[in-house]
Structure 1
Amino acid sequence: MTINERILALRRAAGLSQEALAEQVGVSRQAIGKWESGASLPGLDNLQELARALGVSCDELLTGKESGTENTAGQDGVALESVKALLDAQNAAQAHAAHRQRILLAGLAAALACVGAALVYLGVYYGGRMRELSSRVDDIGANVAGIEGSIDMRISSIQSSIEESLRQQASIVAGFDWDYGVPGTERRVPLTVTATPKNYRDGLSAVFTLTPESGVPQTAAGTLLAGNAFRAELAVPLEMEYQDFSVSVSFTLDGEAQTEELFREYDFVSGYQTTVSVTPTDFKAQHSGRRTDGTAGMTLGGDFELSVNRAYRENSAVPAHAVIELVIDGEAVQRQEMDLSADFQLVSGGAGTADEQAEEILSGITYYLSFPEEVYAAPQREAELVAAVTDSSGLTVTARRDLYRVG
């Protein structure tokens, strides 16, 4: 019987619980439990108290042999054989623990190896699966995004319909229309505006207002037409103050006025302006040594392009005349003039309608021109090409391109 087994047997023979024995020995219940299970052994300092509590001598507790002396239980000395038994028991316990630890470590190592192999296999297997799942998730995400986009479009459409319905319910205008005329030499675009009130009553009057972003507003009283519609004539100056503007109508009855905006225009003036550019293509501008009068010379001349684009708004003025000059230090040394009106006229007949032909002919033209090469006194400041195009309303647009500049 081992020491731990004897401690357990003696405790039970004495009718003691682990708590009672621990209290007599002066240790914890857990210490008694470890002694009885063999997890640990009592030290020499606890042997006498343990033997006394169990009613045996220390030698009997350690060796299981009854002592031949008449010493009182637990108070005899510890014989050499008893000490050897205690040390043997401790060594056996340590060896047993070490053996269990080696078995545990070996089992753990084997388990880790299996887990590692499994992870490698799962990594290879599930790597492909994860890529496949990722691709499916991407597809699902794209489908969800498409569905969300469709829902957003439907919501936006419904919201727009509701807003339009509310606007129409709150509107004081049953309908309106406007039309621009051909700008004249005074650089003003005629504007005819017509509006019909939703609720017409005798005595109702109308006033139309054109309000620019920066500039002086214009007003015009409406003339009553058949069908209870009102019409007014306004004019939009082709000045940058009128680039953006709004047009509104105010209906007045018995001194009470109600106003509503009819429409807005943006970049209006730009839509009536001809655009021009001049671009050297094979144009020489190089120093040529000394001239016969001893001054430094420069050779200037060659090919260039003149691009003219008609304004994009309907009824806008058309390019009519162009002047292109080679200018040295502010003085024109070569000059060409061109009549453009025939190139930008509407033509009849041929393929397509007149409007389709106008779109093709009036949108823009590039002219390929040249100045002969000449040797001039070297510029003191600059040499440049200058193109000025005047449209049918009298507006002149100028484009410049540097050929040489000092500094």
Structure 2
Amino acid sequence: MTNRETPATIGQRILALRRTAGMSQEALAAAVGVSRQALGKWEADQSLPGLDNLLALAEALHTSCDELLTGRPLSSEQPPAPSLSAEGMQALLDARETRETKRRRISLAAGGGVALVLAAALLCVGLYAGSRMDDLQNRIDGVNGQVAGMQGTLQAQVDSMTNRVQTMLDEQNSLAAGESHSYSEWESGSRTLLLTARVTAKQSVPGASARLIVTATYPTDTHSAVTLEMTDEGGGVFTVSGRVATADELTATFQLESPDGTVQNQQLWSDYAPHGQFEPIVELGGGIDGQLIRFETQNGQIRFDGDVGLSLGATEYAWPVEAEMQLEIGGQVVETFPIPELYKDFVPTEDSYTGDQAVFVGSTVTYFWTPQAHPWKADQSVIITARVVDSQGNVYERQMELIS
């Protein structure tokens, strides 16, 4: 039994459609006219694209704004067009409201204080004539509106000036005139990628040495860092190739050391979950709608009433080729559930023109299994293990402990 699921968030849908289109982050970012880091934040649901960027995304991905925002695919009669319906606009507004609610901070603004003072003054003046209270209230509302408008305009101008100044300072203090980097050779066992980078220093300093410090940030807000010594290619160009740990975010800092010992640093990039383009989805869970598998232990047996679900998904680089689930009681494997012919779900056809394999990317397939009844003792553990091998030979294991 299989069940295909649609990516749940706007970021996940952008990622899925990009992979389906066979585009890299750099290529899609260039087509939209934004930086690769901005696109990475959209795909990681850390920010939302503006309306102009949304239209450019839809055009570049040959889809509609509605599919990006709601997940509803185009019908066969509906040509792909970067249009936006009322439903799509509501989905975008809902997403923005959700994000703003998470980070909104309430503060008293100076302009608001001015409005209150003016309001109080007007009220005091109006006390001598009760018949003019309505007129005074209207004036108060008008002053409040004017102050709010002025405050918003001033804040926008201050933000713009701050951004310009910061950009100028960053350019003046920058060490690198340019950089390029890429990831390859994913290893699931060590959870590392091969990082290849090239950095051109803004000024060539004879005898200078350089290194790249790559910091990994994990979901628990912990960090680890690796320092990669760079090779001086001459003319201020430094290169490096080395393995780095994968995490929710990888941040690279370029460090340049002059012959006199002076050390300067500049952060070059932050990449969000770069291993996501290499690592297939492998999730072991219980049943449909997140309900865990049900079981009972009576008369020296364990009986199951419900499904164990193994969800698998492909990337453009790797897809599942072997998978099985095992039931282990008291340290012994008592039942195995193999999942044959995975290629039918992930590599269904060959392109008749190029001969290349077509891979389903951006969706998942869930396989369900209900174990049989087995003898069981009160002191025995009960564990379900899933083992998956991808097309690159990487092995993934997931476990679900029912009884410890």
Give me the TM-score of the superposition, normalised by structure 1: 0.49
Which one has the largest radius of gyration?
A: 1
TM-score, L = length of structure 2:
0.49
Which has the larger helix fraction? 1
